[in-house]
Amino acid sequence: MRRIITSNLISLDGYLAGPGGDLSWHTVNDEFNQYAKDMLNSAGTLLFGRITYELMASYWPMEGAKTDDPVIAGKMNSLQKIVFSKTLRKADWENTTLLSNDVEKNIRQLKEQPGGNIVILGSGTIVSALTQAGLIDEHRIFICPVLLGSGTCQFKGHLDRKNLLLTDLKGLSNGLVMLCYKPIK
């Protein structure tokens, strides 16, 4: 069975993005980029909500991304991508499938198929829904050393209490702290 992994950078006060979707506070370095390469090499599918999909699709296929980071851009562009949206009408980014309903049902079926990990980047609404449904196998959270005060929360909507087990902890030289958690079932 395939695993679903979330991998997100958040502020110390729990935001995925600042006001207006601001991500300028993300502090990545060579250590983080190596993590990203390793994570993408283990992935078979990327899963997005509409907002994160539009952000990623506006960057990774562009020549600047391919020039600045050809390895990560190559993986981001070539991997299978699924975007869940009730408002998006088309998804033109290479290897993307657009689905508009039954998130849990579709994800349960996807987990049963052969392939690498299913990785969710950003996409707080999807992360929340799949966490509530007990479908997330691991949360990888990179805490950035910044307080934003407002923005887009990591988890949205109704979420029952979920107990987690810390399975890994690593500090990066740029101040990021990676926390890996698995649900306690």
- Residues whose CB is less than 8 angstroms from the CB of residue 10 and which lie 6 or more positions away in sequence, other chains included: 16, 141, 142, 143, 144, 154
**Residue 51: CA count within 13 A, CB half-sphere:** 13
For the chain, domain boundaries: 4-183
Q: Residues of 35-45 as b/e, b for ≥16 C-beta within 10 angstroms?
A: bbeebbeebbb
Return the closest-CA partner of residue 52 out of 144, 121, 102, 6: 121
Is the confidence at residue 31, as pLDDT, over 80? yes
Quote the mean pLDDT of the chain. 94
* Structure confidence at residue 50 (pLDDT): 92
* Structure confidence at residue 8 (pLDDT): 96
Number of H helices, E strands in the chain: 6, 10
CATH assignment of 4-183, given 2.40.160.150, 1.10.110.30, 3.20.20.540, 3.40.430.10? Answer: 3.40.430.10
Q: What sign has the CA pseudo-torsion 42, 164, 147, 170?
A: negative
- Residues whose CB is less than 8 angstroms from the CB of residue 169 and which lie 6 or more positions away in sequence, other chains included: 177, 178, 179, 180
Question: Is the CB of residue 101 less than 8 Å from the CB of residue 131?
Answer: no
Q: Give residue-wise pLDDT tens across range 35-45.
A: 999 999 999 99
Whole-model pTM: value is 0.93
* Structure confidence at residue 158 (pLDDT): 77
43 alpha-carbon distance from chain centroid: 12
49 - beta bridge partners? 84
